[in-house]
Structure formats: C-alpha cells, structure tokens
Chain A
Amino acid sequence: MTVTEDTLLFIEENKRRYAELKAAGQKHAPKALPGPTPRDGSPIPEGAVLHAETIPGGWYWSTPLKAGEALRIRLPHGPAAVSMIAWAAGDKSERLNYADTVKVQWTSALGKGRVLFSDMGRVMFSLIEDTTGFHDALVGGSTAASNRARYGEKALRNTRDNFILAAGKLGYDKRDIPPALTFFAPVRTDADGVFHWLEGKRQTGDFVDLRAEMDLVVALSNCPHPLDPEPDYAPPAVEAIRFRAPAPAADDLCRTATIEAVRGFENNAR
C-alpha cells in the first residue's frame, strides 16, 4: 500500500496534536487519591437525612436524586453486592456509561475521588466516600442464567430482572437499561485477563457515598454478584440513605482529581 504525501501530512498533524494533548495533560497531574474512608468515619449529620430505605436481599429500589443530594449505600448486616444503573432525570436517553467511566479515567478500579460518567460526557456521580475501593465496573449484575449456573434450578431473584422491574415501573423500557456498576464486588483480572473474586475486601459497615452531580433517577439491586463464590444464595438486607451532601469546596477532590474530571464538570456546567 503506497501512502500519499497528503496522508503522511495528515498522520504527522494528528501525531503532533496527540503530543500536544499529552503534554497539556501532564501539566495537570492527577491528584493522589486518598485511601478508603474509615468504616466509622464520615457520619451523616442528623438533619441531612431525607430518606432511609432498607432493601431486602434479592430486591431492588429506585429513587430520584437531585443534584447536590447524595446516596449512601451501606452494608449493615454483612457482605452484599449492590448493582446500580442511573438516568438523567429529564432525559432517560442519557444514562450511566461504565465504558466511558473506565476509559476516560484509565481505570476500572473505582474508589473515593473518582466520578461516574453519562454517555454524554457529563458527570452523574462523585464517589465522595468509600470504605473499600473494591467495586465491579466490567462484569455487571446477576441474571436468571447466572443464578441457575451458580445455585441450580431454584427460582431466585436476579439483578437483570430487578432492573427490568425498576425500569418498567418508571415507564421506561428494557431498551433504556444500561450496563450496571456493582458496589462491594471485589473483582479484578489476573495477568491473562481472567476475572477473579477477592474475598475479604468487604465487611459489615462498609459504605459508599455517591453525590449526584445532576438531577438523576437511580435504580439499585441487592443480589449476589455472579462471581461471588459463596455457595448459598442468602443476600442480607442493605441500607440506602438519601441525604443532603455538604456543598463541594473549590478544591473538591472529585471535581479536581484529574483533568478529565475537570472537563466533565465543565460539560455539566454548559
């Protein structure tokens, strides 16, 4: 294949821009992220709670969440996994996008200081507190098939059907259901890309605080993650608390940790 002079110039120009973008990015070095939140840290001020919900094992819940409110998802009764999807409140076609979230932040290891993106380049959530740093962004939640494979032929509740129910009751459709993120699911790959479950990374009292950065509708599902090796299907209840989050300061970690987060928030403000 002979490459024309025009093509060579085009490639040179694109390479030059890539080098410029890289250099500009390096000027804004990512902030070092803090370790996990202590399990007894960051109490919710008494007057800030708007609603507290207990989601029984196997069940789902959906809630509107206004910009500036936060959702604490907590494990008061032992290890559980909580899958989440979300939509922009005024436009269900804008929704949580795990692929953009991991791609633009160069990591599938979400934890305190990271943000969650919509498919429109805007920040939906800031992960303002997190006691574990072990969540799953790639594998998603359970399905009827994954339950059958794990637990046999019993009819057990699963995350896919929970999200169909949550979406259906909101007047949404199956087509509106994006892939999920699952909190408290310690999934990592090995050097060959094979997924592994790192048990021992979550325990009673773990929580994550998600600050809404736009008006949202959120759906949660409390079902065991499909890679959880625990042989019994016995998910304990989890707690979801909607509360007024403290206003972010100018140097707010999630809003300033990376140049990508800064640009995402610029998109939110437009």
Chain B
Amino acid sequence: MSKFFATPVRDASTAVADYFVPANAPFSCLVKKGESVRIVDLEGQQAVDTLFYRADDFSERYSSQDTLRVQGSAYVSTGTKLISSEGNLMLTVTADTCGRHDTSAGACSCEANTVRFGHQVKYLHACRENFVIEVMKHGMSKRDVVPNINFFMNVPVEPSGELAIVDGISGPGDYVELKAEMDVLLVISNCPQINNPCNGFNPTPIQVLVFAGEEG
C-alpha cells in the first residue's frame, strides 16, 4: 500500500456489502446517501473506470467537467467533491491510499483503440463495451455514457497542456473510499485494456465494499 489519506479509517470486516469484480468485468450497485463505498485495487496497477448516476433520475449523472471546475485542479484525491451534470454534489472522496486519480482521459473503447493502437486491436473487449452492457441493465443506453473517473490511473496534465505517458502508481490493496451525498447508482468497468501499461499489461480483479452511514 502506498500513502494513506483517510477519515475515518474503516475496518473492512464491518462492510454491509462485499462484491468481487473479476478482471475485465462490468459491475453496478446502488449506494445510499450516507453510505460509503470503497473500491480496492486487489493486485495493484488496475485502472477502474467509474460512473455515477442519481438513483431516482438517471438523466442526472457524473460530470467530469463540473468536477474539475469545482475542484480547480486536474486530479482527484481525498477531499475531491464529485459533481453531477445538474451541479449537485454526488459523492465526496474521503479516503485514498493511492494519491492521484484521473478524470480527464475517459474510458477506452474498441473505436478509440483503433485510433490509438491500430485497426488490428478493434476486437478487444473495452471499457465502453462494459459501460453499455451495464447501463442497459438499468434502462439506459450509450447516450448515458459520459467521460468518467479513472480510479488508480495517473494521467498528468503538463503546464504545456500535453498529457504525460506514465505507468500506473497503485499497489496491491490500494483503495479509494467515497461517501455518497445522494442515492447513486455506481457503474464500474474494471478496465480490460492490454495495449498499454495502465493495467500492467494484465487486467486483475477488484473489490467493492459498501459501509453503512455513521447514523446507521
């Protein structure tokens, strides 16, 4: 585990829900207002692409740009407020053992992969495939899929505006914890990308834990 920034420090055994998300897989679950969700990078160097939707109105969704604007900075870590497309506070990052997460670069897709890596990689499972599969379970479609947060991905934006090319910085067991400020649907693509170092060339499983709110 790397650095540690968290309040309060929670014991994993007190979680009210404990989900195992296999390598490459999509996942979703509801997180109620006041509950906290912990996303654990079990083996390290695994990008976790994540979206949030307001549980009682999916047309209100995570907005990377509103989040960056309110935050005033390009990186996500402890204290970051995740803002919706309606300008409402969705979740607050309350713990982070990794130190930096990306919300500028969005998710991989078969189509973007052909542009980045060549047409021969088109038929490789990608995050947008996961997102479409998962949101359609909830009556949504591709138009509900917007640029997301990439937990455990380090995409430095340089003063020149260039995006730097760097390896993942998370180690086994690193986690990020978010307190829900409204009832949200959490949607994850456990990134299947194997064409660059963001997953250490080997996508691995993650764990999602939900903790009850302080007031019970």
Contact = CB atoms under 8 A, between A and B. Distances in A.
Contacts of A191: 159
Contacts of B156: 193
A121 B143 contact: no
Interface string B146-177: 11000000001111111101000000100000
Given A100-B106, A104-B116, A193-B75, 12 more contacts: A10-B201, A99-B64, A99-B107, A102-B105, A109-B162, A121-B112, A139-B65, A143-B66, A175-B144, A189-B73, A266-B119, A267-B115
Interface in A120-146: 120-122, 138-141, 143-146
B147 A99 contact: yes
A179 B146 contact: yes
A7 interface: yes
B157 to A, nearest CB: 5
18 contacts: A17-B194, A17-B195, A21-B117, A93-B141, A100-B115, A106-B162, A107-B160, A121-B113, A139-B65, A141-B65, A160-B87, A179-B63, A179-B147, A190-B159, A193-B75, A194-B74, A195-B72, A267-B114
Contacts, number: 158
Nearest to B140: A175
A175 B143 contact: yes
A79 interface: no
Contacts of B7: none
Interface size on A, as a range, is 35 or more
Interface string A110-122: 0000000101111
B74 to A, nearest CB: 4
Contact of B159 (A92, A144, A189, A260): A189
Contact of A109 (B64, B68, B75, B160): B160
Interface of B: 43, 59, 63-66, 68-69, 72-75, 85, 87, 104-107, 109-119, 128, 141-147, 156-163, 165, 172, 194-197, 200-202
A139 B73 contact: no
A194 B147 CA distance: 20
A109 B109 CA distance: 22
Contacts of B163: 102-103, 106-108
Contact of A144 (B64, B74, B87): B87
Given A14-B194, A176-B143, A194-B73, A264 B115 contact: yes
B201 A14 contact: yes
B130 to A, nearest CB: 15
Nearest to B63: A179
Nearest to A17: B195
Contacts of B194: 14, 17
A192 interface: yes
B161 A92 contact: no
Contacts of A188: 159-161
A240 B163 CA distance: 30
A98 B147 contact: yes
Interface string A180-196: 10000000111111110
A11 B157 CA distance: 28
B157 A193 contact: yes
B74 A193 contact: yes
Contact of B201 (A11, A21, A98, A174): A11
A145 B102 CA distance: 24
Nearest to B201: A14
A139 B74 CA distance: 9
A140 B69 contact: yes
A59 to B, nearest CB: 21
Given A93-B142, A138-B104, A139-B65, A117 B72 contact: no
A106 B157 CA distance: 9
A107 B69 contact: no
A117 B112 contact: yes
B73 A18 contact: no
